Amino acid sequence: MTGPHLVARLREDLATVRRRDPAARGAVETALVYNGLHAVWVHRLTSRLWRAPGLPRLLGARTLARVLSQLARTATGVEIHPGAVLGRRVFIDHGTGVVIGETAVVGDDCTLYHGVTLGGRGVPGVRGRRHPQLRDGVTVGAGAAVLGGVVVGAGATIGANAVVTKDVPEGVVAVGMPATVRPPRGRA
């Protein structure tokens, strides 16, 4: 992504917060006070460093990416590994305590509330996809944990404090510990 495209993406991120949070009063205030937005912006930079062809080994770009992501975690309370993939218009609302692991993929137009974990399951020696994939339009409620290489289908909602360890079909609601799937309200 070139400079002008990156600036356009940052503006899109800012507009996303303003559109999806009724408490966002103006562009300047939003840009200054939303920790979830700051975490997404730093991730855009660290992700570029993490994936830069030839750069990681040559200049220690991956180490720099990890250091910057940890500084961002300290400042924002949101931890996003530089290896994670975030789509467009991702909104992290009240982001404190959000953790997004290295192989996680978050699709376009997803919303994550505070305390969400997109984490691994702690299986030693596992390589490849160890973290969840959220398809487009997924909402994950406060305190929820989505663990392992599961896939959450487009438009699904994960309820607050749910623990998801199995794939979730698109368009459904998953609640509880362990999470069980229910059709959205109005559909039976």
How do residues 4-29 score in pLDDT, each as one tens digit? 787 888 899 999 999 999 999 889 99
User: What average pLDDT score do residues 98-113 get?
Assistant: 97
* Class at the top of the CATH hierarchy for domain 3-182: mainly beta
What does the pLDDT read at residue 51? Answer: 86
Strand partners, 182: 173
Q: List the alpha helices (DSSP H) in the chain.
A: 3-20, 27-33, 35-51, 55-59, 61-76
**CA 14 to CA 28: how far, in whole Å?**
10
**CA 33 to CA 52: how far, in whole Å?**
30
Q: Taking 90 as the threshold, does the pLDDT of residue 186 lie above it?
A: no
What does the pLDDT read at residue 152? Answer: 98
103: left (phi over 0), alpha (psi -120 to 50) or beta: alpha
What does the pLDDT read at residue 125? Answer: 72
The tens digit of pLDDT for each residue in 120-174 reads: 987 777 677 899 999 999 999 999 999 999 999 999 999 999 999 999 999 999 9
Contacts of 139 (CB under 8 A, 6+ apart): 110, 111, 156, 157, 158
* Encoded tokens for 45: 């930079």
* Encoded tokens for 179: 């999470």
CA distances in angstroms from 115 to 93, 142, 144, listed in the order given:
10, 6, 7
Q: Taking 80 as the threshold, does the pLDDT of residue 185 lie above it?
A: no
H or E, element range at 91: strand 91-92
Q: Which residues belong to the active site?
A: 114
1 confidence band (pLDDT: 50, 70, 90): low
Percent of the chain with pLDDT over 70: 93
Q: Taking 70 as the threshold, does the pLDDT of residue 55 lie above it?
A: no
What does the pLDDT read at residue 144? Answer: 98
Domain ranges, ordered by start, for the chain: 3-182
Please answer whether residues 9 and 44 qualify as being in contact, where contact means their C-beta atoms are separated by less than 8 angstroms. Answer: yes
DSSP class of 160 = T
What does the pLDDT read at residue 13? Answer: 94
E strand spans, 102-188: 105-106, 111-112, 117-119, 133-134, 139-140, 145-147, 151-152, 157-158, 163-164, 173-175, 180-182
Q: Taking 70 as the threshold, does the pLDDT of residue 59 lie above it?
A: no
Q: Taking 60 as the threshold, does the pLDDT of residue 56 lie above it?
A: no
What does the pLDDT read at residue 47? Answer: 93
